């Protein structure tokens, strides 16, 4: 037991593991994440609806979105931004490796009779001959990527961006980092059963890394 507790509380190296695929592809957690996406009042998987609406109006005005504008949203989730941008007459593509989110997004687009191109793929592996006027990565996805992954995705952006085009990244600020504190906690069915349909004990360790300006939430389930 001591060895297990020691392992639980051990500080990982920054970007030691990339667990996003496990989170979004798992049958149980992907369903939970989609429900967070669609909750209009909280900022968990997505921003709240009021914030998204303000963001769309700013994006439309600042980047002069119109009929000729080609946009790609990396990590589009269930299409909360792509739907609204398509309604602004933009030519929109959404990429996400959660099949549950992509299926929801496609069904919503079909219901609204919106022509949106959705790709169910890990965006780190995305390749296309298309070129885009605006590349988006929203809800701090860029922050989760390691330096190597960031270099790879930026190279992709460079390849598929129209000359004079723009990249829009939603990232955490240094002010946010300075407000984060290290902590350790555990409880039965941590996050109200988010992690499993079965009973479990969940341990949460929050670590901060000053040099990298990174915050890590490490979850261990028993």
pLDDT in tens, 153-190: 999 999 999 999 999 999 999 999 999 999 999 999 99
Q: Where do the structural domains in the chain lie, given as residue ranges? A: 27-37+47-169, 175-222
- Contacts of 56-62 spanning 24+ positions with Cβ under 8 A: 56/81, 56/84, 56/85, 56/88, 59/85, 59/134, 59/136, 59/168, 60/85, 60/88
pLDDT band at 45 (very low <50, low <70, confident <90, very high): low
Q: Give the residue, 23 or 16, on which the prediction is more confident.
A: 16
For domain 27-37+47-169, the question of CATH label 1.20.1250.20 is answered with: no
């Amino acid at each position: 037991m001591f060895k297990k507790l020691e392992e639980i509380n051990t500080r990982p190296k920054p970007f030691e593991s990339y667990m996003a695929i496990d989170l979004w592809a798992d049958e149980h957690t992907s369903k939970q994440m989609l429900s967070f996406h669609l909750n209009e009042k909280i900022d968990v998987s997505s921003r709240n609806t009021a914030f998204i609406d303000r963001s769309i109006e700013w994006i439309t005005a600042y980047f002069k979105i119109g009929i000729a504008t080609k946009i790609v949203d990396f990590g589009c989730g269930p299409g909360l931004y792509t739907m609204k941008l398509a309604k602004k007459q933009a030519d929109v593509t959404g990429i996400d490796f959660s099949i549950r989110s992509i299926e929801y997004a496609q069904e919503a687009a079909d219901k609204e009779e919106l022509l949106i191109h959705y790709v169910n793929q890990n965006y780190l592996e995305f390749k296309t001959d298309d070129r885009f006027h605006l590349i988006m990565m929203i809800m701090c996805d860029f922050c989760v990527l390691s330096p190597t992954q960031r270099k790879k995705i930026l190279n992709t952006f460079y390849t598929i961006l129209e000359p004079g085009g723009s990249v829009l990244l939603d990232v955490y600020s240094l002010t946010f980092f300075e407000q984060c504190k290290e902590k350790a906690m555990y409880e039965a069915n941590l996050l109200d059963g988010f992690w499993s349909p079965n009973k479990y004990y969940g341990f949460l360790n929050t670590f901060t890394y000053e040099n990298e300006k990174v915050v890590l939430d490490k979850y261990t389930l028993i």
